[in-house]
A = this chain, B = another copy of it.
Amino acid sequence: MTAICFCLTGFWCCCHWAQPPTDSSSHKKASPDRMGIFSNPAYTTSFNHSFQSSAPCNNLGFLQKNNNLEEKISSFKERSSKDLLDNSDRDSRFRRTETDFSNLFARDLLPAKNGEEPTMQFLLEVVDILTNYVRKTFDRSTKVLDFHHPHQLLEGMEGFNLELSDQPESLEQILVDCRDTLKYGVRTGHPRFFNQLSTGLDIIGLSGEWLTSTANTNMFTYEIAPVFVLMEQLTLKKMREIIGWPNGEGDGIFSPGGAISNMYSVMIARYKFFPEVKTKGMTAAPRLVLFTSEHSHYSIKKASAALGFGTENLILLSTDERGRVIPADLEAKVIDAKARGCVPMFVNATAGSTVYGAFDPIHEIADICEKYNMWLHVDGAWGGGLLMSRKHRHKLCGVERANSVTWNPHKMMGVPLQCSAILVRERGVLSGCNSMCAGYLFQPDKQYDVSYDTGDKAIQCGRHVDIFKFWLMWKAKGTIGFEQHIDKCLDLSHYLYTKIKGREGYQMVFDGEPQHTNVCFWYLPPGIRDMPNGQEKREKLHKVAPKIKAMMMESGTTMVGYQPQGDKVNFFRMVISNPAATRSDIDFLTDEIERLGQDL
């Protein structure tokens, strides 16, 4: 059977199983600088000795350090001030040495014997690459991106080959690959990157992610993520307090993005009204219908397909010209659905729509939900962050009446991707909906309070630690820091709006001050401006934004999104969530649009 199996799959048969280079014990220093790592001689004392030495690693000064705070403080107290000056045996922790990585391989790193020194040197080299990237990200003289077409990258840039092979590459090549991966990527933290709702590179958040990766654990049980599980609980409670639910009561969980958070909301609503669906399936329920704005995020539609409602049972609500749901339209459609024998079950109100940044009127929608006994979900993936601002949180007025709320700190609050929360007002429905009581994970006879094992509430089993970076940022900035960031972004978008609303060549997509940082506009090149309105002008204008965007990407100077919406031809959607952006960057963007669009 085995032999047949190999032939059928055909994979191993055709591989060349040559032995990989094995002389990793002879760590030649032939070309220590082929990676361009120039070291101060003072830093380069111990590596070769220690690495070739058979003495236990912890005999080396490099390894005697213990970074435990208490020990350090006590050690500090014991030292005389003379000692402080004579610290030749200290801080060898950061002794970056002339290491030749061309003869080192992954197998030479920890847990390999004597792997500690090369591991530390390799990690420091990676950190050097990353800190350089961080520096350049904030440097306006650096490009936002160095664009290449897929076929170019697939063919292989010089020294950068994406193909995987059977044999290992040297650590030198791995470091080159790391540099190249960043080189051909997009600097989403660059002050002139405006392309998505998630922008910026928060240093505290970044540190939090580095720590999370190093801890490499899983949120499903307190047993293996005690600190992170508690941080999640406390942070979710804080978010519920800010939403306005009494005493922050309720439930919630961090999920892999706003689309999954929105999917949770539909699942929970169904469980609340028709718990038998969990065991018997959708056929046990009447024909259920869901409502959402025609401007809402497509994840509600994805959820209605995935969860077995069907996209036709998701009814799209009309909006006013600013993209806000018209409550009367909701009520009319609820009445109509009931008349057709359907059961209206769920309404999604968007707080900060993707394109217009519109906030649906939550109070009016909540009134209708109460009247017809429907679940009210507020999708605040984009707009939820405004709850942190005393000046702007009124735009979510009524959110405390929602049954569930999606709120993505990875968008307006600048937390690194991914960080999205689904928050639920009623305790118990989230677990009721999802728990399956797997015995191998959620043993009831553990020695600690197992109510802290939160994994069974999730549709996932293993769950990435998304909380730490957010918790750490909150600690480091305080609530007030988030507020300042949000207020600043909205001020900047006000600056852009004020600048272009009457400016020649610009036309706003909707009238009035935007509610969020989304500023939607057409840029009309001189050759189009004076054309009479009509199909020809529309067709020409439709092509302007894609052309300008393509030129922006080719030149790498800035990035901004565009899209059509309904019967409106392609327009730019400017969004500001980047803490690095300033008025000068806004000016740069409009200058660039005008420069590139001049001759279109």
Does A273 lie at the interface of the complex (its beta carbon under 8 Å from any beta carbon of B)?
no
The docked-state distance in angstroms from the alpha carbon of A206 to that of B123 is: 9
Flag A304-332 by CB within 8 Å of B: 1 or 0 each.
Answer: 11111111110000000000000000000
Contact of A2 among B204, B394, B461 (CB under 8 A): B394
Which residue on B lies nearest to A116, using beta carbons? B135
Determine if B127 and A123 form an interchain contact, defined as CB atoms under 8 angstroms apart.
yes
Q: Check if A377 is an interface residue, CB within 8 A of chain B.
A: no
Contact, CB under 8 Å: A446 / B550: yes
A393 near B116: Cβ-Cβ < 8 Å? no
Q: Which residue of B lies closest to A435 (CB)?
A: B302
Stretch of A66-74, A529-537, A591-599 with 4 or more beta carbons under 8 angstroms from chain B: A66-74
A454 shortest CB reach to chain B, Å: 11
- In whole angstroms, what is the CA distance A39 to B398 when docked? 54
| Copies of this protein chain in the complex | 2
Contacting A259 at CB < 8 Å: which of B5, B242, B459? B459
1/0 per residue A360-394: CB within 8 Å of B?
00000000000000000000000000000010011
Q: Using CB atoms, name the residue of chain B closest to A123.
A: B131
A88 at the interface (CB under 8 A from B): yes
A471 — nearest CB in chain B belongs to which residue?
Answer: B164
Number of interface residues of A (CB under 8 A): 231
A132: contacting residue among B66, B215, B355, B546, CB under 8 A: B66
Cβ–Cβ < 8 Å partners of A584 in chain B: none
Known interface pairs A226-B184, A565-B439; A90-B130 also in contact (CB < 8 Å): no
Q: How far is the CA of A230 from the CA of B166 in the complex (A)?
A: 19
Nearest-Cβ distance from residue A200 to partner chain B, whole angstroms:
8
A306 to B255 Cα, complex, angstroms:
15
**Residue interface mask A181-197, B partner, CB < 8 A = 1:** 11111101101000110
Question: B298–A436 contact, CB under 8 A?
Answer: yes
B153 and A227 form a contact (CB under 8 A): yes
Of the candidates B174, B458, B464, the one whose C-beta lies within 8 Å of that of A476 is: B174
Question: Is the CB–CB distance between B281 and A561 below 8 Å?
Answer: no
